[in-house]
Amino acid sequence: MSLVRVEGLRRLFPVSAGLFRRSTGFVHAVDSVNFEIGMGESLGLVGESGCGKTTTGRMLVRLEQPDEGRILLSQPDGTDMDVVELRSDQRTEFRRQVQMIFQDPYESINPRRTVYETIAEPLLIHRIGDLSTREQQIREMLRKVGLAPPESFMFRFPHELSGGQRQRVAIARALILQPRLVVADEPTSMLDVSIRISIMELMSQLAKEMGVAYLYITHDLAVARYMCDRIAVMYLGKVVEIGATEELLANPLHPYTQALLSAVPVPDPALPPPEVRIKGGIGKAVNPAPECRFVDRCPQAADVCRTTPHPPLEDKGGRRLVSCHLVEASRH
C-alpha cells in the first residue's frame, strides 16, 4: 500500500537577466515528476547535482510550493491528504507525519540551543506531553540514536559534538514525533567516510523499528544501494528510471542509469578503466526544447528522441518504470 503518491509535480524557477531584471525564462527544476513511496519503504532519489532532487524533497515537506501537481499522503482512515493544498486544520497533522533530515549537521541545528532543546522542539510546538514525559521520551530517543548515556549529551551545545553526533541529534529530532515519512537530504554526504556507515545503519534500523518511510536523496549509488528498497534516477528535473534497487543496479535500462553505473569505480586494478559512455556535463533545463532531456549526452540518441517530446515514465515490465523511447517493454 502506498504512503505517498506524487503526481505531475512541477517547480519552475524564473531566470532573470539584464538591467531591469527581466524574466527571460524558467529553469524547469522539477518537471512532471511521478513516483510513489510505500509504507515503511525507502525510496532513493539519485542524480547529479542540480537535477532537482533536493527541490523535490523540499516540496514534499512543504518548504517549497510546487507550481503544478499533487502530493497525496494517505491517511490511516483511508483518505488522502493533499499536501500541496493543505486545509488549515490539516497543517499540524501534516507536520507530525512528515519530517526532514538535512544535509549539513553543522547548520541544521541551532547553535544556541542544547541537544535537549533541539530534540524537544517538535514536542514543544505540538504541545505533546508535559515536562517529565517529554524528558523521558527524549532520553529514550537519545539512547535509540546511540547517544548514550543521555545525561551526558542532553545539555551539551552543538559545538561540543562531532559531525556524526550532530547528525544523530538531527535524526532524533526528525523521529521524535514518530512521523510516517522522513525526507533525508543527503544526510551522510557531509560526514567523514568512517562514520557514514554507522549513521546509515542507524537510519535503516530505526526505520524498521518505527515503520518510517524514507525519501532518501543522494548522489551516491553505493549509499542508495545500502539504504533503499527502490531507486528513482533523476536527470534535469525528470525521473528517468525507477526500479527495485538490486534489479536496477544489475540491469540498468535507461542510458543515463547505465552511464551512472559505469562511472562507479571498481576497486580492482586488474580491470580495464571503464569506457566513458556519455559526453559533456549536466546543464540547466532553461526553457527546454520539446525533445528528450538526455538527448545531447545520450550515446544511443536516435531521430525519435529529437522529434518527440520527453518520453513518459512507462512500465517496462516487473515494476520497472523507464522514460526512454528506445527501451522496449521487454519482460512481461
Partner 1 sequence: MADQRSLPEETHTADPFGSQPILHEVDSWWKIRLTLMRRSLRENWRIFRRSKVGVFGLVIIAFWAIMAVMPTVFFATGFWNPAVYDPVTGLELNPPTRTMTMVERITDPNTEIDRRAVLLDGRIPDTLQIGDTFELPRQPAPPDGRHWLGTDPLGRDVLSQLMHGARASFFLGILAAVVTVVIGTTVGSMAAYFGGIVDAFLMRLADLLILIPGLAILIVIGAVFTFQLWHLAVVIGILSGFGGTAIVLKSQALAVKVKPFIDAARVAGGSARHIIFYHLIPNVMPLSVLYMMFTVTAAIQSEAVLSFLGVLNTDTSWGLMMNLARTQGYLLQVVDFWWLTIPAGLSVTLLSAAFFLVGRGMDEIVNPRLRRR
Binding residues (CB under 8 A) for partner 1: these are: 61-63, 91-92, 95-96, 98-100, 102-104, 107-114, 121-122, 125-126, 131, 135, 149, 151-152, 154-156, 160, 170, 173, 177
Q: Look at the alpha carbons of 21, 22, 24, 28 in this order and tell me if their dihedral is positive or negative.
A: positive
Q: Which is nearer to partner 1, 6 or 154 (CB)?
A: 154
Q: What is the nearest approach in angstroms of partner 1 to the Cβ of residue 62?
A: 8
- Among residues 111, 193, 113, 207, the alpha carbon closest in space to that of 155 is found at 113
Q: Which is nearer to partner 1, 145 or 240 (CB)?
A: 145
Q: Which is nearer to partner 1, 122 or 255 (CB)?
A: 122
Q: What is the DSSP letter of 90?
A: G
Q: What is the nearest approach in angstroms of partner 1 to the Cβ of residue 328?
A: 42
Q: Kindly report the CA angle at 307 between 303 and 309, in degrees rounded to 5? A: 125
* E-assigned strand segments in 146-237: 181-185, 213-218, 230-235
Alpha carbon separation from 319 to 35, 36, 199, 235, 322 (Å, rounded):
12, 12, 30, 20, 10
- Among residues 238, 245, 234, 232, the alpha carbon closest in space to that of 204 is found at 245
Q: What is the nearest approach in angstroms of partner 1 to the Cβ of residue 239?
A: 23
What's the CA gap between 6 and 69, in Å, rounded? 8
Q: Which helix (H) or strand (E) holds 11?
A: strand 2-17
Q: What is the DSSP letter of 136?
A: H
Q: Which is nearer to partner 1, 104 or 291 (CB)?
A: 104
Q: Which is nearer to partner 1, 125 or 263 (CB)?
A: 125
Q: What is the nearest approach in angstroms of partner 1 to the Cβ of residue 183?
A: 8
What's the CA gap between 54 and 217, in Å, rounded? 7
What's the CA gap between 183 and 297, in Å, rounded? 30
Q: Say how many C-beta atoms besides its own lie within 10 A of residue 111's C-beta.
A: 9
Spatial contact of 115 and 145, defined as CB atoms under 8 Å apart = no
Q: Which is nearer to partner 1, 92 or 205 (CB)?
A: 92
Q: Which is nearer to partner 1, 141 or 242 (CB)?
A: 141
Q: What is the nearest approach in angstroms of partner 1 to the Cβ of residue 61?
A: 5
Q: Which is nearer to partner 1, 93 or 291 (CB)?
A: 93
Spatial contact of 53 and 45, defined as CB atoms under 8 Å apart = yes
Q: What is the nearest approach in angstroms of partner 1 to the Cβ of residue 215?
A: 13
Q: What is the nearest approach in angstroms of partner 1 to the Cβ of residue 98?
A: 8
Q: What is the nearest approach in angstroms of partner 1 to the Cβ of residue 232?
A: 21
Q: Which three cell numbers stand for residue 302?
A: 536516435
User: At which residue does the C-alpha cell 559534538 appear?
Assistant: 161
Coil, helix or strand for 254? coil
Q: What is the nearest approach in angstroms of partner 1 to the Cβ of residue 162?
A: 12
Q: Which is nearer to partner 1, 127 or 332 (CB)?
A: 127
User: What's the N-to-C CA distance of the chain in angstroms?
Assistant: 22
